[in-house]
Structure 1
Amino acid sequence: MAMPRNQARSPFIAGLRLAALLISVFALGACGKREPESAAPAPDPASAAQPAAPAAADATRISELRATAKDAYIWGYPIVEGYKSMYQQAVDAKGANFHAGFNQIGNVAQVATPKDTSIITPNSDTPYSFLWMDLRAEPLVISVPAIDAKRYFSVQLIDLYTYNFAYINRAATDGKASVFMVAGPDWKGETPKGVREVFRAETQLAYGLFRTQLFSPSDLDNVKRLQAQYKVQPLSAFLGTPAPPPAPPITFPPYDPEQANGLGFFSYLNFLLQFAPTVDSEAALRQRFAGIGIEAGKPFDAAALPPADREAITAGIADANQALEQFIATEINTEKVSSADMFGTRAALKDNYLYRFAGAKLGIYGNSASEADYQSYFVDAQGRPADGSQHDYVLRFAKDQLPPTNAFWSVTLYDGKSKLLVDNPLDRHLINSAMLPTLKRDADGGLTLYIQQASPGKDKESNWLPAPAGPFYVILRNYSPGQAVLDRSWQKPALTPVERKAD
């Protein structure tokens, strides 16, 4: 909970008052015999006002510190949240979520399950391949195979800020085997022969997130064959030239969620900022943050701060989270803001750091609008939070009103607390367009999905998406969405609560 501002500065004010009282007592004792009142000199108004000046100045400083901490947390949260994925996937080789070291591709030949915890709100339609890139020494060259037009695939290129700075997809390759290069902010050179296009990252560390569509369990071997053809190599290896000197080794601090969610957040942020050179549009912002100790590569020792400063920074973090809660309630749940606003390039987001903060909190590494559309169900048709312990729900698509897509759509359910997939007896976490032949249609040709904890009955289980006995949310994804989705002329159906049948 945020601390009231007067409470944050009360120790200082109380100290001043006590000091003033002691001075008065000492003065009376030292004088001995008290002189007549008429002989006492008149108090100087200017000197009487002096003790209040430091208090006012410190109160202003504490208020500014709190405001700056709030803004720094909103701006820096996606960077630190991304570090969780980086550390688990590419640094902690003994961890359950490790996939491959830097500049290597780690393939996962299965869709996401409840056991996958390194990314919140993961999709479970496309097996992932992971590439964490260290671009300090030289660029990397990425090769992708020819992929059938019916199968969706993409390589989402993301910088440390979590901006999607480029895509390798069907539009970039025309479905043909292609070679691309990713360069860091310090590289200067021309596009090498044999490279189709060069993509430039603003940061020295970056992420390549590969998605390859899986049509059905029997299709898994096909996905594995495609994943095996994704290749990455340093530019020097691609050109057959001597490699440049290696970049200095990095000592990565272990990721601790408790530390990252407290004042230790700023220690992680300072560590990561050394790989994120200041861009011109953020020079003033970074200078302002430096005023409270947020600087690239510098230590941030929260324990060494005065108690009032620690309280102010902690209150600033609470203010940031409170701003997010209000934003979700008034902008996202009311559908004034969509995923199209929260994910994309730096230019597309227009320095709206609250949008980027919300995207990282709700589902980091979301796609840009042109690549995928995400529509959420955090509340039902009556505006109440979705909760499987309280209600059963239906999601009904009217005849000819399935999501218009150029690739595929899916409806995926997540636990409201962990933001991960939910264990259930069917081992089913989504219903998507590839499953349409197995789904039961309504009498009028529509499609009703049953989202509830208990089975809706054997005759309806094909359309059942199991919910937990507690809060949950649903994400409707549309990959390569149709124009009617992008311009919102197509409207998603409501998540409608229905009367629960008695046991």
Structure 2
Amino acid sequence: MIYGLPLVMNYAVFYDYFVNKGGSAFKAPPNQLYNTARVYTPADTTIVTPNSDTPYSFVAMDLRAEPFVVCNPQIEKSRYFSVQLVDFYTFNFGYMGSRASGNDPKCAMITGPEWKGTKPDGIDKVFQSGTDFAFALIRTQLFNSSDLENVKKIQSGYRAETLSAFLNQPTPPAAPPMDWPKIDKDTAKADPFAYLNFVLGLAPPVGPASVEIPMRDRFAKIGIEAGKPFDATVLSPSQKSAIELGMKSAMGKIKEKIANLGSEENGWRVAMHGFGDRAAYNGDYALRSAAALAGIYGNDAVEALYPILARTSDRKAPDTSANKYTLTFPAGQLPPANAFWSVTMYDAKTQLLIDNPINRYLVNSPMLPEMKKNADGSLTIYIQKDAPASDRASNWLPAPNGPAYIVMRIYWPKEAAMDGKWKPPVVQLVK
């Protein structure tokens, strides 16, 4: 359970976005780029804790027959963008973008786990996925609603194609067609190990993944084996009971890991190592599961830092059903970002964005010109379910009628955020 949860969660997203053509969340089939020309809203429920700052672009890559190429156009220096490469383990195995490679046109080649070859002309960097399928998650900064047409133009300049198409060469023999098993929340909960077996078939234990061979050998003793069906009927009652108890215990350990992610700073949990590549996790599969459950597809800390509010000034978890809160950044002490920062509100029961009368799901730095500062130059955000007085409306972060899940994002954080010299301020309970 601890090992497999992120792989099954990822497959559920992959199926919704890239396989289930009749579903409301479907984007595009593998090897085809899809641009979402808007920010996410409460209607987007496939991924927990999605951002609402940057319109997303997606491409799922089938790397079995040949590598894939992703290119970005020229993007103005003032606009942040990133290309995050994620494999089926949920490891972040590579980056392009403002921080990683700059805003000039660049092309990267993504290969499968067993590919061996040389970098062709026109490719700036090669990234090797640990699994046969992977995807690129592209974030393009949106400054305000009137900026959307500019974002659409940038999105139209992203390129995603097979290596043979990029080089204008003959297409190699196609890989066998995939028989993707249908998945939803109910089937995933009822038969998680069948899905895990399927995904493991796309994740050969080669290269860095060879460290998993002894562990996978142990898994095989209870029927968890790459590409094989999982038949719970052959398990003895004692084995079934042991698996059920193990799953329950594992989920408890994962939730405990989430509650203790990183260090607590003024009531915020700040994790410098919550997301990353295989080396960053260093065999800590509980951390990988905790990261996926807290916010799957989170960035490496150097790309985006995610303080998560755990406790307010009364040392309790935030609940906006009856409480009001304020978050005040002293003058000159806004979150230190090379790109931008935001504070986003979610329903703690679902970790999804919430409906509200002004369709505002976050407060971010591009909104600063429209926000009201205090006489001393500080900035106060009003966190509550009902609209505040009119003179505070520009600084209102609408909240749910219940427990709240509040995430700060610091995109391309400055050193002061990374070394702890800057700390997120305490969220104050209004009495």
**What TM-score comes out, normalization by structure 1 length?**
0.83
Partner SS, residue 407 of structure 1: coil
Partner SS, residue 481 of structure 1: coil
Does the CA-based 8 Å contact 2:331-2:376 persist in structure 1?
A: yes
- Looking at structure 2, the residues matched to 387 and 266 of structure 1 have their Cα atoms a distance apart, in angstroms, of 36
Paired AA for residue 354 in structure 1: A
The answer for the alignment partner of 1:386 in structure 2 is 318
The answer for the alignment partner of 1:273 in structure 2 is 200
The answer for the alignment partner of 1:344 in structure 2 is 276
- Looking at structure 1, the residues matched to 423 and 270 of structure 2 have their Cα atoms a distance apart, in angstroms, of 13
Does the CA-based 8 Å contact 2:140-2:151 persist in structure 1?
A: yes
The answer for the alignment partner of 1:326 in structure 2 is 256
Deviations 1:272-297 (A, max 9, x none): 11110112221111111112111001
The answer for the alignment partner of 2:90 in structure 1 is 162
Return the offset for 1:396.
0.8
- Looking at structure 2, the residues matched to 378 and 293 of structure 1 have their Cα atoms a distance apart, in angstroms, of 39
Q: 2:157 aligns with which of 229, 253, 256?
A: 229
Does the CA-based 8 Å contact 2:254-2:287 persist in structure 1?
A: no
The answer for the alignment partner of 2:119 in structure 1 is 191
- Looking at structure 2, the residues matched to 287 and 383 of structure 1 have their Cα atoms a distance apart, in angstroms, of 45
Does the CA-based 8 Å contact 2:262-2:269 persist in structure 1?
A: yes
Does the CA-based 8 Å contact 1:78-1:357 persist in structure 2?
A: yes
The answer for the alignment partner of 2:245 in structure 1 is 315
Partner SS, residue 261 of structure 1: helix
The answer for the alignment partner of 1:359 in structure 2 is 291
- Looking at structure 2, the residues matched to 337 and 312 of structure 1 have their Cα atoms a distance apart, in angstroms, of 33
The answer for the alignment partner of 1:114 in structure 2 is 42
The answer for the alignment partner of 1:243 in structure 2 is 171
Does the CA-based 8 Å contact 1:127-1:212 persist in structure 2?
A: yes
- Looking at structure 2, the residues matched to 464 and 187 of structure 1 have their Cα atoms a distance apart, in angstroms, of 51
Paired AA for residue 132 in structure 2: Q
Paired AA for residue 305 in structure 1: L
Does the CA-based 8 Å contact 2:263-2:270 persist in structure 1?
A: no
Partner SS, residue 228 of structure 1: helix
- Looking at structure 1, the residues matched to 232 and 323 of structure 2 have their Cα atoms a distance apart, in angstroms, of 45
The answer for the alignment partner of 1:496 in structure 2 is 428
Does the CA-based 8 Å contact 1:78-1:161 persist in structure 2?
A: yes
Paired AA for residue 302 in structure 1: A
Does the CA-based 8 Å contact 1:143-1:180 persist in structure 2?
A: yes
Paired AA for residue 363 in structure 1: G
The answer for the alignment partner of 1:80 in structure 2 is 8
Which structure carries more helix by proportion? 1
Return the offset for 1:340.
2.4
Residue 302 (structure 1) aligned with residue 229 (structure 2):
no
- Looking at structure 2, the residues matched to 199 and 311 of structure 1 have their Cα atoms a distance apart, in angstroms, of 42
Higher Rg: 1
Identity of aligned residues (%): 48
Paired AA for residue 88 in structure 1: D
Q: 2:410 aligns with which of 449, 465, 478?
A: 478
Does the CA-based 8 Å contact 1:333-1:378 persist in structure 2?
A: no
Deviations 1:185-210 (A, max 9, x none): 12111000111111111111101000
Paired AA for residue 248 in structure 1: P
Return the offset for 1:307.
2.4
- Looking at structure 1, the residues matched to 151 and 288 of structure 2 have their Cα atoms a distance apart, in angstroms, of 32
Does the CA-based 8 Å contact 1:333-1:379 persist in structure 2?
A: no
Return the offset for 1:308.
2.3
Does the CA-based 8 Å contact 2:274-2:301 persist in structure 1?
A: no
Return the offset for 1:123.
0.5
Q: What residue ranges of structure 1 are gaps of 5+ in the alignment?
A: 1-72
The answer for the alignment partner of 2:354 in structure 1 is 422
After the TM superposition, which of the residue ranges 211-220 and 338-347 deviates more from structure 2?
Answer: 338-347
Return the offset for 1:370.
1.0
**What TM-score comes out, normalization by structure 2 length?**
0.96
The answer for the alignment partner of 1:395 in structure 2 is 327
- Looking at structure 2, the residues matched to 362 and 316 of structure 1 have their Cα atoms a distance apart, in angstroms, of 21
- Looking at structure 1, the residues matched to 329 and 421 of structure 2 have their Cα atoms a distance apart, in angstroms, of 15
CA RMSD between the two structures: 1.4
Q: 1:92 aligns with which of 13, 17, 20?
A: 20
